[in-house]
Amino acid sequence: MDSTFVVGIDVGGQTSKIGVVDARGTVLAQTVIRTDTYDEIGPYIAELAEAVKKLIRESGTEGKVRGIGVGAPNGNYYTGTIENAPNLRWGHNKVEFSKLLSEAMDGLPVALTNDANAAAVGEMTYGAARGMKNFIMITLGTGVGSGIVINGEVVYGHDGFAGELGHVAAVRNNGRTCGCGKTGCLETYASATGVARTAREWLELSDEPSVLRSLDTIASKDVYEAAKDGDKLALKIFEFTGKILGRSFADFIAFSSPEAIVLFGGLARAKEFLTEPIEEAMNANVLPLWRGKVKLIYSQLKESDAAILGASALAWEL
Amino acid sequence: MDSTFVVGIDVGGQTSKIGVVDARGTVLAQTVIRTDTYDEIGPYIAELAEAVKKLIRESGTEGKVRGIGVGAPNGNYYTGTIENAPNLRWGHNKVEFSKLLSEAMDGLPVALTNDANAAAVGEMTYGAARGMKNFIMITLGTGVGSGIVINGEVVYGHDGFAGELGHVAAVRNNGRTCGCGKTGCLETYASATGVARTAREWLELSDEPSVLRSLDTIASKDVYEAAKDGDKLALKIFEFTGKILGRSFADFIAFSSPEAIVLFGGLARAKEFLTEPIEEAMNANVLPLWRGKVKLIYSQLKESDAAILGASALAWEL
């Protein structure tokens, strides 16, 4: 049995989750520190390293940890840096994350990438994409992220930032305004936020009765609950969301001809409402040679562990 | 100096071009045989092998040829087969092209891929993309083809058919009918055929004066000539074509973050009219991090040699 371990760190805007993981994808121990109480990277890295060391000690893996994998917004695999990350208080300028953490960890190697790429590596190492050489991971959360795997390797592109499929054009004309400054981006429709936007927009534009009308604020979770109760408008919202996703997936297939598209993230929980419209739109918009051939599958990683597992998987490649 | 050589074969619907090429990309000798006089693959392969052997003899490279590279419609790199190629009389069913040719050539290894992938390898080996590890080749001919290079390797995908970027959705609603059975495909707008379609459509829909009105039939070449003479409608057609291309290129960039997009093919000759609208639309539709950073370049291969060179380049990797 393999007796080495890796550490996975998921850096989020509010908290950073840390876990020690074995080769089978079992999280032996995990802990959390705050991300948002630091304005400067120095003190944050110091506490992070402290927490990692403590966790390694407590899990009895001292001397057996091979490396650290980090998933972070705007993380660049090539340079190990985080740049222009609006949700990280210390991440507005360029931060030499991997280098700083490795130094604070007495030279332990550190690999870093963005959250969605980490999720793709995690799925390939421990999850639904085990054994697959060509697949596209789509994370449906607050935004839409992606990690593209070709020939068994994550695509980082010329600059390390490949795989921004949340920002392809889902709607070319009069599309919704996106946080990135463009309009019509896939994530303005097909993220959790996008689903809530669709709900608010449609409630405004029609008189159709819906339980959603009684709510002060609407989140994607509310639309999901309403759909489960058979609310027609809510069901139509998921049908629309699935269609938007499926049409874009068809274009992704034309690019890299993956074996599967793997869905992950909060919104992917609505799979009973999304699968059919996605597959229908996807198959209607691909070339005949791919019709009915590209699998649509859902992440198999336990959701509470997924972010840590994804990040940790990077470290096996160090 | 490297004293080995390769053979490149470009299989087209009417003719097959054959060349002996050195490591610098010089075509030492070339010849042509008909493709369209054979209903069966057997006799075609026999004549092809005969022609290749004769060319090798005549060019004095006997015993120094390392392998044969073939570019062919619907060519599959993984399997060495050609499948469902409507323009090849013997290509309607699955044809074991590489195997048959290799046998007829006394075991010389044969690599096969589609025309656009061959063009990408050619550009990387001898042309404008030398030294580039990440780029996307777009061929603007009768249709729109593509060859995607990531980390120095052509992307073939799960099944060998990746890189069908002519069939992504350029227009989602009321798009033009494509030969593939879908509507709104990029190639219905941005190919030579697409440019001619735009001309015919716009002449019908407006009263705008144009020299194109005097023609019985319109080809993209006519639109190009008219644009060179300052015809306003013709200039607007290229502006529109460039915009359609640039918008799609922006989505391609979000996928693989290439260093450059390389244009090739008959329509790419209209670069004086295409470059500006392409770059404008491309930069308006990418994430800020890529704005102004992805190069748009044109093939540097001599057009008469390009197809042979592209195919031949495959053989260096054998």
Which amino acid is residue A226, in one-letter code?
A
Tell me, what's the pLDDT at A317?
Answer: 85
Residues A80 and A89: beta-carbon distance below 8 Å:
no
- How far is it, in rounded angstroms, from Cα B41 to Cα B59? 27
Residues of chain B contacting A257 with CB distance shorter than 8 Å: 155-164
Tell me, what's the pLDDT at B84?
Answer: 82
- Best of B74, B82, B251, B282 to disrupt the A interface (most A CBs within 10 Å) is B251
Asked if B107 is an interface residue toward chain A (Cβ–Cβ < 8 A), one would say: no
Q: Please state which of the ranges A2-16, A32-46, B59-73, B150-164 shows the lowest mean pLDDT.
A: A2-16
B256 contacts A157? CB cut-off 8 A: yes
- How far is it, in rounded angstroms, from Cα A126 to Cα B227? 57
Residues B91 and B85: beta-carbon distance below 8 Å:
yes
Asked if A175 is an interface residue toward chain B (Cβ–Cβ < 8 A), one would say: no
- What letter does residue A299 receive in the DSSP assignment? -
Write the CA distances from B201 to B138, B143, B176, B277, integer angstroms.
25, 18, 11, 20
| Nearest in space to A7 (alpha carbons), one of A76, A53, A74, A72 | A53
- What letter does residue B175 receive in the DSSP assignment? P
Tell me, what's the pLDDT at B1?
Answer: 45
Which amino acid is residue B64, in one-letter code?
K
A74 → chain B, closest CA residue: B289
Write the CA distances from B103 to A203, B4, B60, B95, integer angstroms.
67, 21, 22, 14
Which amino acid is residue A29, in one-letter code?
A
- How far is it, in rounded angstroms, from Cα B213 to Cα B210? 6
Write down how long chain A is: 318
A168 contacts B171? CB cut-off 8 A: no
User: How confident is the model over A117-174, as pLDDT tens digits?
Assistant: 999 999 999 999 999 999 999 999 989 999 999 999 999 999 999 999 999 999 999 9
Please give the average per-residue pLDDT across B99-110, as a whole number. 97
Residues of chain B contacting A287 with CB distance shorter than 8 Å: 164, 167, 180, 182
Give ∠ CA A88-A90-A94 in degrees, rounded to 5.
100
Write the CA distances from A91 to A12, A31, A231, B226, integer angstroms.
11, 22, 42, 53
- What letter does residue B22 receive in the DSSP assignment? -
B287 contacts A167? CB cut-off 8 A: yes
- How far is it, in rounded angstroms, from Cα B209 to Cα B198? 15
Q: What are phi and psi of B236, to 5 degrees?
A: -65, -35
Q: Could you tell me which residues come within 8 angstroms of residue B210 by beta carbon, excluding any fewer than 6 positions away?
A: B203, B226, B231, B232, B233, B234
Tell me, what's the pLDDT at B317?
Answer: 85
Helix, strand, or coil here: A190?
Answer: helix
H-assigned helices in chain A: 41-58, 97-104, 115-126, 187-190, 192-205, 220-228, 232-256, 271-285, 303-316
Q: Please state which of the ranges A74-83, A257-266, B303-312 shows the lowest mean pLDDT.
A: B303-312
Tell me, what's the pLDDT at A291?
Answer: 97
B289 contacts A161? CB cut-off 8 A: yes
Q: How far is B106 from chain A (nearest CA, A)?
A: 32
Please give the average per-residue pLDDT across A200-227, as a whole number. 96
Percent of chain B with pLDDT over 70: 99
Facing residue for B251 by CB, picked from A151, A171, A251: A251
Helix, strand, or coil here: A76?
Answer: strand
Helix, strand, or coil here: A144?
Answer: strand
- How far is it, in rounded angstroms, from Cα B187 to Cα B143? 5
Average pLDDT, chain A: 95
- Best of B255, B259, B294 to disrupt the A interface (most A CBs within 10 Å) is B255
- How far is it, in rounded angstroms, from Cα A299 to Cα B64? 52
Facing residue for A254 by CB, picked from B164, B181, B289: B164
Residues of chain A contacting B282 with CB distance shorter than 8 Å: none
Facing residue for B159 by CB, picked from A84, A162, A257: A257
- Best of A76, A134, A150 to disrupt the B interface (most B CBs within 10 Å) is A150
Facing residue for B158 by CB, picked from A158, A252, A259: A259
Please give the average per-residue pLDDT across A47-76, as a whole number. 96
Facing residue for B167 by CB, picked from A156, A169, A287: A287
A169 contacts B84? CB cut-off 8 A: no
Q: How far is A165 from chain B (nearest CA, A)?
A: 6
- How far is it, in rounded angstroms, from Cα B133 to Cα B113? 19
A259 → chain B, closest CA residue: B158
Tell me, what's the pLDDT at A1?
Answer: 45
Work out how many CB contacts closer than 8 A connect A with B.
Answer: 115
Residues of chain A contacting B158 with CB distance shorter than 8 Å: 133-134, 257-259
Angle, helices B41-58/B97-104, rounded to nearest 10 degrees: 50
Exposure pattern of B102-116 as b/e (b: 16+ CB <10 Å)? bebbeebebbbbbbb
Residues B305 and B117: beta-carbon distance below 8 Å:
no
Residue with tokens 């990797």: B317
Q: How far is A20 from chain B (nearest CA, A)?
A: 31
| Nearest in space to A180 (alpha carbons), one of B201, B287, B194 | B287
Residues B5 and B15: beta-carbon distance below 8 Å:
no
Please give the average per-residue pLDDT across A83-105, as a whole number. 91
Asked if B266 is an interface residue toward chain A (Cβ–Cβ < 8 A), one would say: no
B170 → chain A, closest CA residue: A172
- What letter does residue A62 receive in the DSSP assignment? T
Residues of chain B contacting A250 with CB distance shorter than 8 Å: 169
| Nearest in space to A241 (alpha carbons), one of A282, A194, A291 | A194
Q: What are phi and psi of B186, to 5 degrees?
A: -50, -40
Q: How far is A79 from chain B (nearest CA, A)?
A: 15
Please give the average per-residue pLDDT across B110-132, as a whole number. 94
User: How confident is the model over B124-144, as pLDDT tens digits?
Assistant: 999 999 999 999 999 999 899
Facing residue for B258 by CB, picked from A157, A164, A165: A157
- Best of A114, A144, A158, A165 to disrupt the B interface (most B CBs within 10 Å) is A158
Tell me, what's the pLDDT at A86?
Answer: 80
Q: Report residue B2's pLDDT band, with 50, 70 and 90 as the boundaries.
A: low
Helix, strand, or coil here: B303?
Answer: helix
- Best of A138, A186, A251 to disrupt the B interface (most B CBs within 10 Å) is A251
> Phi/psi class of residue B265: alpha, beta or left (left: φ > 0; alpha: ψ in -120 to 50)?
left
Residues A169 and A189: beta-carbon distance below 8 Å:
no
Which amino acid is residue A100, in one-letter code?
L
Please give the average per-residue pLDDT across B159-181, as a whole number. 95
| Nearest in space to A205 (alpha carbons), one of A235, A237, A178, A170 | A237
Average pLDDT, chain B: 95
A161 contacts B293? CB cut-off 8 A: no
CA dihedral A274, A280, A282, A287 (to 10 degrees): 170
Q: How far is B286 from chain A (nearest CA, A)?
A: 8
- How far is it, in rounded angstroms, from Cα B167 to Cα B188? 9
Asked if B47 is an interface residue toward chain A (Cβ–Cβ < 8 A), one would say: no
Residue B289 CB burial class (10 angstroms; 0-12, 13-18, ≥19): middle
Residue with tokens 């580039």: B132
Helix, strand, or coil here: B11?
Answer: strand
A252 contacts B158? CB cut-off 8 A: no
Please give the average per-residue pLDDT across B48-65, as a whole number. 97
| Nearest in space to A190 (alpha carbons), one of A254, A120, A252, A143 | A143
Percent of chain B with pLDDT over 90: 91
Q: How far is A302 from chain B (nearest CA, A)?
A: 27
Tell me, what's the pLDDT at B174?
Answer: 94
